[in-house]
Structure 1
Amino acid sequence: MPGEARLAPYACHPAHSRGRLVREDESPTRSCYQRDRDRIVHSGAFRKLKYKTQVFVYHEGDYYRTRLTHSLEVAQIARSISRVLGLNEDLAEAVALAHDFGHTPFGHAGEDALNACMEPYGGFSHNDQTLRVLTRLEHRYAEFDGLNLTWETLEGVVKHNGPLLPLNDGKHLPVTIDAFRSVWDLELDTNPCAEAQVAALADDIAYNNHDIDDGLRAGLFSIEEVAELPMVGPIVRQVCDRYPGLERGRLIHETVRRMINAMVDDLLTETRRRLAEVRPGSAAEVRAAPEAVVAFSDPMLADQRPLRAFLRQRMYRHYKVNREMSKCKRVVRSLFDLFMAETNCLPTQWQQELKATGGEGNPLVRARLVADYIAGMTDRFALAEYGRLFDMDAKI
């Protein structure tokens, strides 16, 4: 494939892919990872991200980021980093674009509410749900459920934040990931490939910086307040010294873009140092390394801690955000309770699925199906469904 010769030895090479669970003839014009990316972009789950919350519920303003715009930003950062390191850009992009597929409506508040509802039935996590979407819930192809992605893309999505099952550790795994092990071993006790490691840290870079951007523009805190943070302050002063009297919107953007550059540069420097130390000769050696090869430096990690603490206190726990999230949790809980008690209120196709899987007489199966239905909702669909079910004046 074009460009494969430019890949580093430790990158994931399409020619060495472990293939797909259901065997298919590969494309003559696209590598297997390009094809994965394209399937992800054309999926229904990808389109739904447009109306799923990042921090602000979709109706609070068109400017704020959604899961879709966040995923695109993560993919852009991941591609840029992968290009410099000689990694497979297409695989990194595929992991970045799919990593949030399992998120519920209303962001982490919705996930917390659904997890609480599902606690007696095995719990709920967005990472586990992402694997369900990619391997079961997308119904597009004639020969299989899911998207039939390559082993490397599935491994990268499931393990992008690191190993899930350290050796000799019998901790409980999320239900779908645990069940999938018997179908296809994703080697949960090893590091992910370098491309997935890049996607994970690109996610950190994107949400830390863009949450600052959204929080500033929403008026939850001021530029003067974030300038007190160790990483942000020097950059704000650089911008102000170079552009005295710069208009506030441009000041915010200039600060955020320089912060992204600083984090990317630090990641590249530290990753090159680790690669030189480990000297992996293949993607397998990256997986077997004693620690991740893609990482931030210790000083950068130290600078990020007060930044995350600030965002947690001043943005994620801001009373205005809390009020919205409180309402959203009630929506999720109410929908779950109603559908569990009255399955005849589910849409016809979901009732048919419930009957086909024996969920009518099995609470575990029924709860997982209800969770699948709710998790697949967008913010606006969940609000509309709540209105249809609980507002006597709403149209059915």
Structure 2
Amino acid sequence: MRRGTNVHALGGFNQIVILDTIRRSREGLSRVEIAEQTGLSAQTVSNVSRRLLDDGVIREAGQRILGVGKPRIILQLDPSGGYAIGVHLDPSVVTYVVLDLDGRVVAHSASTTPSDVAPDLMVERMRESIDAIIVEAGVDPARILGVGIAAPGPLDLERGVVLDPPLLEGWHGVALRDALAEATGLVVLLEKDVTAATIAELWTGSSHERDDFMFFYYGTGVGLGLAIGHEAVRGATSNAGDIGHLIVDPDGPLCSCGRRGCLGDAIMPRSVVAGAISTGLIGAHAGRPDAVEVDEALARIALLAESGDRGASAALEVVAARIAVAVVTVANLLDLDTVVFGGPYWNHISGSVLERISVLVNTSPALVTTHPIAVTVSSIGNDVAAVGAACLVLDDVLSPRPSALLITT
């Protein structure tokens, strides 16, 4: 619990402290309770609460009788007091969401990521899509707090630049953050996709139900988000989570890096589909399959496995085994007790591999942790990275940080 200060000049920080305190109480709090929890004076709480009420960010939600004396008016967060937009740039699909202050998705849209569109034109398409989803959500544009973008790494977060993602052709050194900010006129935050997915789990979860976990992201490529002590782990350059070249099968397929059995090339959806085509499990596409065709083919393989097809089951068994090796390696290294799966392609294979992964992980002779590993699926769904990108904005606006108290010249 963050504590406030009664120094008048720090009212901005106190406002965020009070707002954060109210947000974390689903039932709402009285002004007296807010003062007790924040250490702020009754007058400071009263003044700040009045401003928040006038701004429409909080609302009065009835009265509560607590012992003797007159009933206390309860204050709650008003979800419609502000909105955040999340954008997930995946090499296969671009997803957009609008979240209210409660973190609830009020609008969603998605479109295939074009392979032949230059980044500057793609930014213009993003602007158009953002304008459209604001209209679709039916929210006041003046209530939009900002835009968060989740993009594949590596990134230069300090400069807001997408450096050279391996599966996004033409996106070398693209100043995405500033370009979209200029196009939309909104504050824009940039984050790596797997970190954004992890933030979504932290932000939308209740209290500290998950403090230490890995988020296994299964999209066009694979990645791993990390949370330790209820904080997302970003690393020295904010590019933590690249596990594509973790070797999970020394006798596996040759990777683009020149080694064999790297996780990414071995289990990415396009590789699974290519393997199924080569064995005759499904029909071949004319030329290299596009994102829609990969999506449809992976779904078809999963349906075959669920119906008992031995070839499809064997193909997904290999995927489960390779994922389990990666999970055990990371769990041992960081002493994590939970793995959460999600991403645009995860739902296709989840029914066939989730239980098997749990068994393989928890019976692995290589597992040295002193606790079982909980294997679960994100409740957010395919939009988890986009939701996480929007949560970046909410966190930036609603979470108090002591650094706000520093005076710079």
TM range (shorter): under 0.3
Larger radius of gyration: 2
Structure with the largest fraction of strand: 2
